[in-house]
């Protein structure tokens, strides 16, 4: 069998929610409910504390599941792997062509919206192994992004990094807040302040649920 078109959930235009569902809670009210304190030491952090590779659903790993969700014009091989597609990158607003290959796959990366090391320093140390694994593989915390933008973000929180695409900032912050609520993580004072500043532009922003 050759390549085939995959009828994936189509990504939205850049200034529309990536999440296909939202709940009725406002982001600002949920942010107010999150604990606020300083970061814990990074001591003991390793990516393997969360996941030794991507989780799989049937034949597909989470990387390919998220690529299918977030890319347009997706083509997959006979098993599951996404071999090409177009990303309308939420972080930069640019269109990025994805082609699987040794020199090109990194052009589109899967970002943990709440970086795992940030999660480790804001409560994930206290989570069970199972909950940390879930956090690392939860579609709520995963988004396909321009590789360079993802590397620039690294493990920054909202106080240190926000997408250059200002139209996406409300959704980005909302997703971070949703993840922190679901996994009982806290925000730092600087992080909360940065989130509040973003949300001044969108006080009615609703919480994503997936």
**Type and span of the H or E element at 62:** helix 62-70
Tally the domains of the chain. Answer: 1
Helices (H), 116-188: 116-121, 129-137, 147-153, 169-182
| CA separation, residue 59 to residues 6, 113, 162, 207, 210 (Å) | 15, 24, 34, 30, 21
Residue 4 has pLDDT above 70, yes or no: no
Structural domain of 167: 4-208
Identify the band that residue 24 occupies on the pLDDT scale cut at 50, 70 and 90.
low
Q: Model pTM?
A: 0.87
Q: Which tens digit of pLDDT belongs to each residue from 111-121?
A: 999 999 999 99
Among 210, 130, 203, which Cα is nearest to 175's? 210
CA-to-CA distance for 35 and 167, rounded, in angstroms? 27
Residue 12 confidence class, pLDDT cut points 50, 70, 90: very low
> CA–CA distance from 92 to each of 105, 165, 167, 168, 184 (Å)?
18, 5, 10, 9, 29
Angstrom distance (rounded) from CA 21 to CA 192: 24
CA atoms 159, 174, 209, 86: torsion sign = negative
- Residue 54 contacts by C-beta under 8 Å, 6 or more apart in sequence? 61, 62, 63, 137
Give the pLDDT mean for 175-188.
Answer: 98
Query: Residue 20 pLDDT > 60, yes or no?
Result: no
């Amino acid at each position: 069998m050759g390549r085939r078109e995959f009828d994936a959930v189509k990504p939205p235009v850049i200034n529309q929610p990536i999440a296909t569902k939202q709940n009725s809670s406002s982001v600002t009210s949920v942010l107010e409910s999150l604990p606020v304190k300083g970061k814990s030491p990074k001591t003991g952090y390793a990516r393997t504390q969360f996941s030794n590779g991507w989780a799989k659903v049937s034949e597909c790993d989470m990387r390919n599941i998220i690529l299918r969700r977030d890319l347009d014009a997706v083509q997959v091989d006979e098993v599951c792997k996404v071999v090409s597609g177009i990303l309308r990158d939420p972080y930069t607003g640019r269109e990025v062509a994805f082609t699987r290959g040794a020199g090109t796959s990194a052009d589109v990366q899967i970002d943990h919206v709440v970086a795992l090391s940030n999660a480790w320093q804001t409560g994930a140390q206290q989570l069970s192994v199972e909950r940390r694994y879930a956090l690392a593989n939860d579609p709520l915390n995963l988004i396909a992004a321009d590789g360079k933008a993802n590397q620039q973000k690294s493990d920054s929180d909202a106080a240190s990094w926000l997408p250059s695409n200002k139209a996406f900032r409300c959704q980005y912050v909302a997703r971070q807040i949703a993840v922190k609520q679901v996994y009982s993580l806290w925000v730092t004072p600087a992080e909360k302040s940065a989130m509040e500043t973003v949300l001044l532009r969108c006080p009615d922003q609703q919480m994503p649920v997936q």
